[in-house]
A and B are shown apart, each in its own frame.
Chain A
Amino acid sequence: MRNVDLVIIGGGPAGMCAAVSAYNAGAKDILVIERDSDLGGILRQCIHNGFGLHRFKEELTGPEYAYKCETELKKFPIDVWCNTIVTDISKDKIVTAMSSERGVEKIQAKAIILAMGCRERPRGALNIPGTRPAGIFSAGTAQKYVNMMGYMPGKNVVILGSGDIGLIMARRMTLEGAKVHAVCEVMPYSGGLARNIEQCLNDFDIPLYLSHTVTDIHGSDRIEAVTVSQVDEKMQPIKGTEMYIECDTLLLSVGLIPENELSKSAGLTLDSITRGCRVDQNRQTEIEGVFACGNVLHVHDLADFVSEEGEVAGESAAKYILGKANTEKCNINVSTDGKVRYSVPQKITDTTVDIKLYYRVSGVFDNVMVVAEADGEIIAKQKKAKVVPGEMQYIVIKKDTLKKDTKELKIRIDKA
């Protein structure tokens, strides 16, 4: 069995940035395992711009952002195995990897960083009634066909779900000559960024139907049309609001799910809301020496934040390997009030560092005060003109504002 200090699973922005930061923090024996033929992860197919404003202070396309991360990584002697899939991780950190080149190989790691990213929710998860013809794609699958393989799934398109990938694909398909007839969103607000509604839909006069969903699919061989209906507050279709829209393609952009099959194989339990592991501020999971970062931990909207989280995990993993991890620990549970849907980290084990606490809200709220309360005492506040579920937020908990014996840190939303 091969021994490696740090195995990083996934060569997207989280994995690459974790590798570099771990190296810089002193871990020298690092292996990044990537299933695809090249580093970059999903960024390789995200050819639109808007990446890197925080991190590189310029507007980059996905492949440009990935290339910058890769260039940085290649400055260091970090091993990368592409075309290799990890099929199992054990509790005692044995990683099983398989490739055509090396066959099946077991690797004993001192530390592991999970950076496998996420996948799209399929049609089945929505239980959309109707036939099951060809022409129904998740938006990301369509993106791969168009941007990486050079094929068009169709030319008359309806998009269900207003997540960013759906909005981006509305513009992309339009630029390539397709007609996008409608984007339908079951919620009363969009799941995507406001700028994407502006530049991907409004620029091309593509209608966005909020509180609408696809209630029937027509066509036996290839999709021929969809029925779109308005929904009430309980998400139930309202009779009489049906619109019949002819199309040859239905794209689904109905949410992303962290890809945690391997985490489960290691025996890690998942947070029922984020559907990622539960971690502390170092992005360490319930198993010491196993860390998680990026979309496998919780779905981000910006690659910049994914990179940042990769760096936190990378540095922490290096400290763990070198035996420099803080051992004087506390155990503070982070809870949320429901309006704040979740926070990451879910647990704080060190009060002597500044902690950037990421959170997402469950609805659209105007003029609010986001409050962090430690055992009843307010320790941080943040005024927000508007918070929406589509945009991840963060609040900084300054070092030494939490006490070692603090039991609970609660993040909640008050009226401003």
Chain B
Amino acid sequence: MNRELTCIVCPMGCRLTVELNGKEVVSVSGNTCKRGEDYARSECTNPVRVITTTVRTKSGKILPVKTDKPVPKELMTECMRLINNLCPDCDGEIAMGKIICENILNTGANIIAAGK
């Protein structure tokens, strides 16, 4: 069985064709780089995404945050629910890169500040 994908790793957006045997990836074609192949394999077995959103700090400031590595796609909604309840106290400093929440939902990913 073949599966068609659009690679989301970079702006080129390569059209990937993945040859599947059940759930096992047999081959990937259409990619222009190694990352494309990795993406296709991950997407067919355990699709993951980086979440970017904001949190409201103690003082009410809106701070951009992101997961520092991709998390399983099916956990996105649950992650958002947790992130929305975060209220870090990082006012009056440049928070860029600071860990706001460790190991969210045991994914191994931290929520970090992605803005000042």
State whether A147 touches B62 (Cβ < 8 A).
Answer: yes
B98 at the interface (CB under 8 A from A): no
Query: Which stretch, B19-27, B45-53, B85-93, B101-109, touches the partner chain A?
Result: B45-53
Query: Which stretch, A77-85, A195-203, A215-223, touches the partner chain B?
Result: A195-203
State whether B114 touches A64 (Cβ < 8 A).
Answer: yes
B80 at the interface (CB under 8 A from A): yes
Query: Which stretch, A42-50, A134-142, A290-298, A357-365, touches the partner chain B?
Result: A42-50
State whether B6 touches A47 (Cβ < 8 A).
Answer: no
Q: Which residue of B49, B64, B116 contacts A203 across the interface (Cβ within 8 Å)?
A: B49
The count of chain B contact residues (Cβ–Cβ below 8 Å) is 27
Chain B residue contacts of A38, Cβ below 8 A? 116
Fill in one digit per residue for B14-44: 1 if any A CB lies within 8 Å of its CB, else 0: 0100000000000000000000000000000
Alpha-carbon gap, A175 to B115, bound state (A): 19
State whether A61 touches B6 (Cβ < 8 A).
Answer: no
B99 at the interface (CB under 8 A from A): no
State whether A47 touches B52 (Cβ < 8 A).
Answer: yes
Chain B residue contacts of A60, Cβ below 8 A? 114
State whether B64 touches A193 (Cβ < 8 A).
Answer: no
Chain A residue contacts of B9, Cβ below 8 A? 195
Alpha-carbon gap, A47 to B76, bound state (A): 17
Fill in one digit per residue for A161-204: 1 if any B CB lies within 8 Å of its CB, else 0: 00000000000100110000000000000000111011100010
State whether A63 touches B50 (Cβ < 8 A).
Answer: no
Give the distance to chain B from A53, nearest Cβ to Cβ, in Å.
5
B76 and chain A: residue at smallest CB distance: A175
State whether B54 touches A47 (Cβ < 8 A).
Answer: yes
A270 at the interface (CB under 8 A from B): no
State whether A194 touches B115 (Cβ < 8 A).
Answer: no
Chain A residue contacts of B115, Cβ below 8 A? 44, 47, 61, 63-64, 67
State whether B56 touches A59 (Cβ < 8 A).
Answer: no
B75 at the interface (CB under 8 A from A): no
State whether A391 touches B11 (Cβ < 8 A).
Answer: yes
Which residues of A (298-326) have their CB < 8 Å from a CB of B? 301-302
Q: Which residue of A62, A67, A150, A193 contacts B11 across the interface (Cβ within 8 Å)?
A: A193
Fill in one digit per residue for B73-84: 1 if any A CB lies within 8 Å of its CB, else 0: 100100010000
State whether A195 touches B8 (Cβ < 8 A).
Answer: yes
B1 at the interface (CB under 8 A from A): no
Given contacts A64-B115, A147-B62, contact A175 B6 (CB under 8 A): no
Alpha-carbon gap, A48 to B115, bound state (A): 11
Alpha-carbon gap, A384 to B76, bound state (A): 36
B35 and chain A: residue at smallest CB distance: A53
Chain B residue contacts of A49, Cβ below 8 A? 50, 52, 66, 114
A148 at the interface (CB under 8 A from B): yes
Q: Which residue of A48, A53, A198, A203 contacts B52 across the interface (Cβ within 8 Å)?
A: A48
Chain A residue contacts of B73, Cβ below 8 A? 203
State whether A199 touches B8 (Cβ < 8 A).
Answer: yes
Most buried by A among B8, B51, B56, B66: B8
A126 at the interface (CB under 8 A from B): no
State whether B11 touches A302 (Cβ < 8 A).
Answer: yes
Alpha-carbon gap, A195 to B5, bound state (A): 10
Chain A residue contacts of B66, Cβ below 8 A? 47, 49, 61
A273 at the interface (CB under 8 A from B): no
Alpha-carbon gap, A63 to B15, bound state (A): 29
Which residues of A (6-62) have their CB < 8 Å from a CB of B? 38, 44, 47-50, 53, 59-62
State whether A195 touches B13 (Cβ < 8 A).
Answer: yes
Given contacts A49-B52, A175-B53, contact A63 B11 (CB under 8 A): no
Give the distance to chain A from B115, nearest Cβ to Cβ, in Å.
4
State whether A195 touches B116 (Cβ < 8 A).
Answer: no
State whether B7 touches A195 (Cβ < 8 A).
Answer: yes
State whether B114 touches A50 (Cβ < 8 A).
Answer: no
Report, nearest first, the 10 A-B pairs whose CB atoms are least far apart: A194-B13, A63-B115, A47-B64, A195-B8, A61-B114, A198-B6, A150-B62, A195-B13, A199-B8, A194-B6
Extra pairs beyond A67-B115, A195-B6 (11, CB < 8 Å): A48-B52, A50-B11, A61-B114, A63-B114, A67-B116, A147-B62, A172-B53, A194-B15, A195-B7, A203-B73, A302-B11
Residues of B whose CB lies within 8 Å of any CB of A are 5-11, 13, 15, 49-54, 56, 60, 62, 64, 66, 73, 76, 80, 96, 114-116
A-B contact pairs, 20 of them (CB 8 A): A47-B53, A47-B115, A49-B52, A59-B50, A62-B64, A63-B114, A63-B115, A64-B96, A64-B114, A67-B96, A67-B115, A147-B54, A147-B64, A150-B54, A172-B53, A175-B76, A175-B80, A193-B11, A195-B7, A198-B13
